[in-house]
Amino acid sequence: MNYFTVTAGDGRSSARCGVLETGHGIIETPCFMPVGTKATVKGLTPRQLHEEVGAQIILANTYHLFLQPGEQLVGELGGLHAFMGWDGPILTDSGGFQVFSLASLRTLEEEGVTFQSPVDGSRHLLTPERAIEIQEVLGADVIMAFDECTPYPVDYETARRSLQMTARWAERCKTARRRTDNLLFGIVQGSMYPELRRESAELTREIGFDGYALGGLSVGEEKSLMYEMIDMTAPLLPREQPRYLMGVGKPEDIVAAVAAGVDMFDCVLPTRNARNGMYFTWQGPLVIKQARYRTDSLPIDEQCSCYTCQNFSRAYLRHLFRSREILSSVLATIHNLYFYHRLMEKIRMQIKNGTFADFMKNFISNYDIS
């Protein structure tokens, strides 16, 4: 089945547009996936995500849903789509990143990872086979292979052993598949070593997946080093399949990664920062708690057509944030996700028009990250 089609390319970079077909709808790429960790994008209903934000696909977290409420309950209630009332595509991560970053008392071995639940203290063994089983019970449209995400910095030999085990786990994940109505993505690791990234890409490509992800980035390294890894890894992945950059989501980073040929993105930034009073605009982030907005009657962004900007002033939004009102998080989340989806829309349009390189230059020069 030809589920991914490249529909346009940029003549001055590796940026491309595509169409990804899933069991719950078609996704235009490049795309951004809002993070719905526990089967909810915090603060918004599925209707708001669809109608006010324009989300095409969302991400849910295998690790958290496995621990609470449990994948069997979700499966018995019709799977994630029915459980959370979202009828569009869903991607689930494998739980690997959370096991290595959140779980306590974990033990890593060839079989998998044994860890202690932060919910009730129970002990669990998460293997590649179990990670696939959980994701298939949840019923996601795109599922991820189980991988080890190394910390940064990490020495060369540790990074190499890790990527080789990730490749062995990836093969086990592919063998463990039972459903034919989902897409399985493999994950490229290798820390910040170009030759290890190349080795991981080759191993993962040899196994063969429906799509390929760049993992282990935005974990504390310098931005220039992250860009170097993206620029050299993306071209090593099959052109005819989607490329997904995991967990990288600053607007300027998305634009740079699109130029390298990346198709899919997810990040908690727009939603987490919304809850902390940060709004994304075409001129850069705006921190609403600052005193200069106390009497400001302007919307967050005069160029923005979102519900928040069409109806509320900076002064009111500052008042909500300082008063710790729930509505503050809701309105900020609507705006930030709307901004991200309009950014992706603009990117797709510019690629199709052959003007992406100019757009990228103008965006970076106008977007103040200081």
Domain 4-263 sits in CATH at 3.20.20.105
Residues 6+ apart with CB under 8 A from 157: none
Q: Which two tokens stand for residue 95?
A: 């739980």
> pTM value?
0.97
As annotated, the active-site residues are 93, 266
Before 30, cis peptide (omega within 30)?
A: yes
Per-residue pLDDT of 92-112, as tens digits, reads: 999 988 988 876 778 999 999
Q: By percentage, how much of the chain surpasses pLDDT 70?
A: 99
Q: Is the pLDDT of residue 1 over 90?
A: no
Number of DSSP helices (H) and strands (E) in the chain, helices first: 15, 16
Calculate mean pLDDT across residues 121-145: 98
d(CA 96, CA 127) in angstroms, rounded, equals 10
Q: Which of 32-46, 92-106, 209-223 has the lowest mean pLDDT?
A: 92-106
State the virtual CA torsion across 268, 273, 278, 283 in degrees, nearest 10. -20
Which residues, 6 or more positions from 28, have their beta carbon under 8 angstroms from its beta carbon? 17, 18, 19, 56, 348
Q: Which of 102-111, 263-272, 350-359 has the lowest mean pLDDT?
A: 102-111
Strand intervals (E) in 215-349: 243-245, 264-267, 278-281, 284-287
Asked if 37 contacts 60 with a C-beta cutoff of 8 angstroms, the reply is: yes
What's the mean pLDDT in 61-85? 98
Taken as a whole, the chain contains a residue count of 370
Hey, is 362 helix, strand or coil? helix
Mean pLDDT of 88-95: 97
Strand, helix or coil at 364? helix
Is the predicted pLDDT of residue 3 greater than 70, yes or no? yes
Q: Residue 251: which residues within 8 A CB-CB, separation 6 or more?
A: 280, 340, 343, 363, 367
Q: What is the mean pLDDT of the chain?
A: 97
Identify the pLDDT of residue 120: 94
Mean pLDDT calculated for residue range 301-325: 98
Which of 184, 272, 171, 254 lies closest to 217, judged by CA?
254
Query: In the predicted model, what is the mean pLDDT of residues 289-309?
Result: 98
- Enumerate the CATH 3.20.20.105 domain ranges in the chain, comma separated: 4-263
Supply the pLDDT for residue 105: 79
Mean pLDDT computed over 13-26? 99
Element (H, E) at 4: strand 4-9
Backbone angles phi, psi at 357, to 5 degrees: -60, -40
Tell me the per-residue pLDDT of 317-334, one tens digit each, with 9 for 90 and over. 999 999 999 999 999 999
- Encoding tokens for residue 55? 């989300």
* Residue 62 pLDDT > 90: yes
Q: How far, in Å, CA of 279 to CA of 277, rounded? A: 7
Can you say how many angstroms the Cα of residue 273 is from the centroid of all Cα atoms in its chain?
15
Phi, psi (deg, nearest 5) at residue 264: -135, 145
- Give the H/E segment covering residue 47: helix 46-48
Taking alpha carbons only, the member of 213, 337, 357 closest to residue 272 is 337
Q: In one letter, which amino acid is 258? A: V
SS3 19: strand
Question: In the predicted model, what is the mean pLDDT of residues 160-171?
Answer: 98
